[in-house]
A and B are shown apart, each in its own frame.
Chain A
Amino acid sequence: MTDIVDERVDPVNMPGDVVLEARDLRVWYATDRGPVRAVDGVSFELHEGEILGLVGESGCGKSTLGRGLIGLLPEGSARDGELRFRGTDMLTLKPREQHAMRGRDLGMIFQEPLTRLNPLMRISEHFAETLKTHDKSISKAEIERRSLDVLRVMGIPPTRFHAYPHEFSGGMRQRLMIALTLVLRPPFVVADEPTTALDVLVEAQIIRILHDLRANYRTALLLITHNLGIIAEACDRVAVMYAGEIVEIGDAREVFSRPKHPYTRELLRSTISLRTTGLNFIEGAPPDLVEPPPGCHFHPRCPDAMKVCATRHPVEREHAGGSRAQCWAADFKDGLAADVPESERAPLNREEISVADEA
Chain B
Amino acid sequence: MSSGSGSLSRYIAIRILLVIPMMWVLLTLVFFLLRVAPGDPVSAAFGGKLSEDALDVRRHNLGIDRPLIVQYLEYLGQVAHFDFGKTISDNRPVLDLVRDNGGATLTLTLGAFLFAIVVGLPLGRLAGRYRDSWGDIVIRIFGVLTYAAPIFWVGIMLVLLVVKLFPSWPTSGMASPITIFTVQPKTHILLLDAIFSGDGTAISDVLKHHVLPCFTLGLLLSGVIIRLVRVNVIQAMKGDYVEAARARGISERAVVRRHAFRNALVAVVTVIGLQVAATLAGAILTERTFNWPGLGTQLVKYILARDYIAVQGLVTFFALIVVLTSVTVDIINGLIDPRVRY
Contact = CB atoms under 8 A, between A and B. Distances in A.
Nearest to A99: B249
A177 interface: yes
Interface in B213-268: 239-241, 243-251, 254, 258-259, 262-263, 266
A121 B338 CA distance: 9
Contacts of A112: 240
B49 interface: no
A110 B240 contact: yes
B258 A100 contact: no
Contacts of A102: 246-249
Main secondary structure of the interface of B (DSSP, over half): helix
Contact of B247 (A103, A119, A134): A103
Nearest to A96: B251
Interface string B260-302: 0011001000000000000000000000000000000000000
A119 B337 contact: yes
B248 A130 contact: yes
Interface string A148-190: 0000000000000011101100000000010011001000000
A107 B247 contact: yes
B205 to A, nearest CB: 43
B247 A70 contact: yes
Nearest to A190: B247
Interface in A32-51: none
B240 A101 contact: no
Interface residues of B, number: 25
B3 interface: yes
A164 B249 contact: no
Contacts of B266: 120
A270 interface: no
B241 to A, nearest CB: 4
B249 A100 contact: yes
Nearest to A105: B249
A129 interface: yes
B2 interface: yes
Contacts of A104: 249
Contacts of A177: 244
Contacts of A184: 248-249
Contacts of B250: 103, 129-130, 133
B336 interface: yes
Nearest to B1: A167
Nearest to B247: A108
In which size bucket is the chain A interface? 20 to 34
A123 to B, nearest CB: 11
B339 interface: yes
A278 B187 CA distance: 85
A88 interface: no
Interface string A124-137: 00000110011000
A103 to B, nearest CB: 3
Contacts of A101: 249
A72 B336 contact: no
A118 B255 CA distance: 10
Interface in A60-110: 70, 72, 99-104, 107-108, 110
B338 A164 contact: yes
B338 A115 contact: no
Given A129-B250, A130-B250, A110 B3 contact: no
B258 A118 contact: yes
The residue among A104, A112, A115 with the most chain B CB atoms within 10 A of its own CB is: A115
B240 A116 contact: yes
A102 B252 CA distance: 12
Given A120-B338, A121-B258, A129-B254, A180 B263 contact: no
Contacts of A120: 262-263, 266, 336-338
A104 B248 CA distance: 7
Contacts of B245: 118, 129
B241 A118 contact: yes
A117 interface: yes
A120 B265 CA distance: 11
Q: Which 8 A-B pairs have the closest CB atoms?
A: A103-B249, A115-B240, A103-B248, A102-B249, A108-B247, A116-B244, A164-B338, A118-B241
Interface of B: 1-3, 239-241, 243-251, 254, 258-259, 262-263, 266, 336-339
26 contacts: A70-B247, A72-B246, A99-B249, A102-B247, A103-B247, A107-B247, A107-B248, A110-B243, A112-B240, A116-B243, A116-B244, A118-B241, A119-B339, A120-B263, A120-B266, A120-B336, A120-B338, A121-B259, A130-B248, A130-B250, A133-B250, A133-B254, A134-B249, A163-B1, A177-B244, A184-B249
Given A119-B339, A162-B3, 15 more contacts: A70-B247, A99-B251, A103-B249, A107-B247, A108-B244, A110-B243, A115-B241, A119-B337, A120-B336, A120-B338, A121-B258, A133-B248, A133-B250, A177-B244, A184-B249
